[in-house]
Structure 1
Amino acid sequence: MTSHSPAAVAAAHPPPPDTGRARDLLLRELDGRWPADGRRLDRIARYALLPAGKFLRPVLLAESARAVGAGGAQIAPAALGVEFLHVGSLVHDDVIDGDELRRGRPSVMARHGVADAVVVGDALMMSMFAAVAECAERGLPAGRVVEAVRVLAAAGVDLCHGQLMEAELCGDAGCGLERYLAVSALKTGALFRAACLAGAVLGGGTPAQQRALRRYGEHLGSAFQMRDDLLPYVGDAGVTGKSGLSDLANRRPTFPLVVAHDRADRAGRRLLERVLSGAVPAAEALGAVAALLRRTGALAAAEERARQEVAAAKGCLAELPATSSRTLLERVADFSADRAR
């Protein structure tokens, strides 16, 4: 039997290479903010946050700042803030989707109930503002801090727009690539884009550097979501730490399904439409859908598009100085296309 324990997930699905420096600094700071012996809210929030997942968004913020000339302890609160926003949104996503597995163990909703999950998700997301504001206390110019708050708050609103748009696409196998990409840019890409841009702002990057890092985050977010959508068909839930049935069970037209619907014959399209209508149970549908993705070439085409987004993300970094942080950002992009193979 495949193990879904947090230790098994971490061992089989490690974080991006060379991110240890940033992760260690940030995890030390995070550990003290939600004490294990604190009040109920602290304990449940800590359960949601630790053990940490890939920690991509905080690393992106920290290394984007470092890539333009600043970083370390001054940036750490903002990097944690983007993780609070991200994890809070995941807690709410699990409530919306009814998902009981997150990072290889029961989701907050499954362990503590819907009411507590909603409250803790709210608390985590609101904590983002206080965390970013701390950067001013650590010596960063107030104007940069205010702009970073604006960037991250706007990303939070984009997440909400993306969630509602995704709900509108529910069950629509023929929604088309353009609408899929619009949802992805809001629901996933927003935080990648905002983490990189906020880091560039806090680090004092030039307008050109800020644009470059924002574009890098946009392409990286697209690649990451595309790869995430592929995991039920190329990954293992014991590695990814989440159910491979969630997207089908929630009738979600994910990237490979959108590509397959465009390529399939009438029978193939009818299969996808029946699956996303809920007429076929997810567990029963997964094998048939996977076979259709392979038969139409949609699986290979979707993987190739994800790799193209990675290449575009890396190309944006040419505007930055050739530093170890730029190299790390390039490696994070490569990781996003290859994770859980």
Structure 2
Amino acid sequence: MSATNAGSATPLLAALSVSPLARSLQRELRSRWPSTSDRVREMSRYALLAPGKALRPLLLVASADAVGGSRDGVLPAAMAVEYLHVATLVHDDVIDDDEFRRGQRSVHARYGTADAIVTGDFLILTVFTALAECADRGVPPADVLEAVRVLAGAGADVCRGQAKEAELTSDPATALADYEAMIALKTGALFRGVCRAGALLGGAAPEPAAALTRFAEHLGLAFQMYDDLLPYLWDSGSTGKPDTSDTENLRPTFPVLLGYQAAGRRDRERFARALSGRMPAQEAYALVRELLEATGALDRGRARAEAEAARAKEQLAGLPGSEGVELLTVVADLSTDRDR
């Protein structure tokens, strides 16, 4: 498998960071979060301005554009979804005790667990303030209210997915259907909520809104499936968090489940030992990587993720906003091209 240096940009990050829309979103984010003596806002600023793709804000604006909506009208909502996403990451790092996120120390590692929880809560509540701004920019209040419902529901699903993931800990025999149900909540829900909210705020009719919802569901699966492959495709540190994080947290991710399915009795026992918590994290990671290569799980995982990305693109046919559709297509393509 190919690898990259920790400091190099992935195709997804590089392509999105140079797009005019991504640059404008980053400028808007920085302008809204200047340095301040307010501790909670400063911790939130630290989390929000860490190097990242601004992928979810970009998806929301592109979805609005794809149905012929106003980019300016949905810009506050784009900020809101980044607040929601980053809040989940802050809390996720507390749960997993991960010390790094996006190439820098996680919020709880820098400021402490209590302040990290407060920061995540603060960002979640700020979501609603930002969404309300859309009405001031000409979006019908009824559409804003519906977007609030959609994003609140997506946030609740993320929590359900997090709880479901905890149920799967340490069990490499987990059924793939259970894994897919979990990632459809933990990762896919926010993709789905972001794209549907963007469509609604952009004034979409029911069928275009449904098409973008389906696009997001497939994209979310592709993105998380491929994300699970990255620790085994890249050199240590390339993903912005330790490659050993999943094995250290005894997490049976997508390639592990594929590998376990294909393994014989002896290798299944080795998978179980790697996720038992009885091995040092680095040794467990090395064993899992060896088993994934031996069973062909990485190649099969890549193929499945690419198939989901292709299904996502099929949903975009017939949408009127060419620029938005083009950008969504690029995101789908690059969601499974992040290891070179």
Using the size of structure 2 for normalisation, the TM-score is: 0.95
The share of aligned pairs that are identical, in percent, is: 52
Q: C-alpha separation between the residues in 1 aligned to 2:277 and 2:70?
A: 48
Tell me how far apart the structure 2 counterparts of residues 292 and 15 of structure 1 sit (CA, whole Å): 31
Structure 2 Cα separation of the partners of residues 260 and 59 of structure 1? 34
* 2:168 aligned partner: 169
* Structure 1 residue 15 displacement after superposition: 4.2
Q: In the alignment, residue 327 of structure 1 is paired with which amino acid? A: E
Corresponding position of 2:303: 304
How many correspondences in the alignment? 337
Bigger shift: 112-121 or 231-240?
Answer: 231-240
Unaligned runs of 5+ in 1: none
Work out whether 1:94 is the aligned partner of 2:96. Answer: no
Partners of 1:276 and 1:43 lie apart in 2 by 38
Q: Distance in 1 between matches of 2:202 and 2:274?
A: 47
3-state SS of paired residue (1:337) = coil
**1:140 match:** 139
TM-score, scaled to structure 1: 0.95
Cα distance, 1:322–1:74 mapped onto 2, change above 3 Å: closer
> Once the 2 structures are TM-superposed, how far is the Cα of residue 3 of structure 1 from its aligned partner?
7.6
Matched, 1:265 2:264: yes
Partner amino acid, structure 2, of 1:86: H
* Deviation, structure 1 residue 18: 7.7
For the aligned residue pairs, the C-alpha RMSD in angstroms reads 1.7
Judged with a 3 Å threshold, the aligned counterparts in structure 2 of structure 1 residues 62 and 320 are, in CA distance, closer, same or farther, namely: same
Q: Does 1:157 align with 2:149?
A: no
1:62, distance to aligned residue in structure 2 (A): 0.4
| AA matched with 1:110 | A
Equivalence map 1:66-145=2 (5 Å): 66-145=65-144
Q: 2: CA distance between counterparts of 1:201 and 1:18?
A: 26
Letter in 2 for 1:265: G
Equivalent residues of 1:82, 1:195 under 8 A apart? yes
Distance in 2, matches of 1:283 and 1:315, equals 40
The residue type equivalent to 2:231 in the other structure is P
Q: For the residues of structure 2 that align with 1:209 and 1:324, how far apart are their CA atoms?
A: 15
Does structure 1 residue 333 correspond to structure 2 residue 332? Answer: yes
Deviation digits for residues 212-266 of structure 1 (CA, Å, limit 9, x no counterpart): 1001001101011011100110023443211100000000110000111111000
Could you say which residue in structure 2 is the equivalent of 1:192? 191
Measure the CA separation in 1 of the matches of 2:243 and 2:156.
28
Aligned to 1:64: 63
Aligned twin of 2:283: 284
Q: Moved runs in structure 1, 4+ residues, more than 4 A?
A: 9-13
Residue identity in the other structure for 1:64: S
C-alpha distance in 1, partners of 2:17/2:239? 20
User: Which shifted more, 241-250 or 8-17?
Assistant: 8-17
Closer, same or farther: CA 120–18 of 1 in aligned 2, 3 Å: closer
Rounded to whole Å, the distance in 2 between the matches of 1:131 and 1:306 is 33
Distance 1:243 1:16 in 2: 24
Give the alignment of 1:311-330 within 5 angstroms: 311-321=310-320, 323-330=322-329
CA distance in 1: counterparts of 2:293 and 2:51, whole angstroms: 34
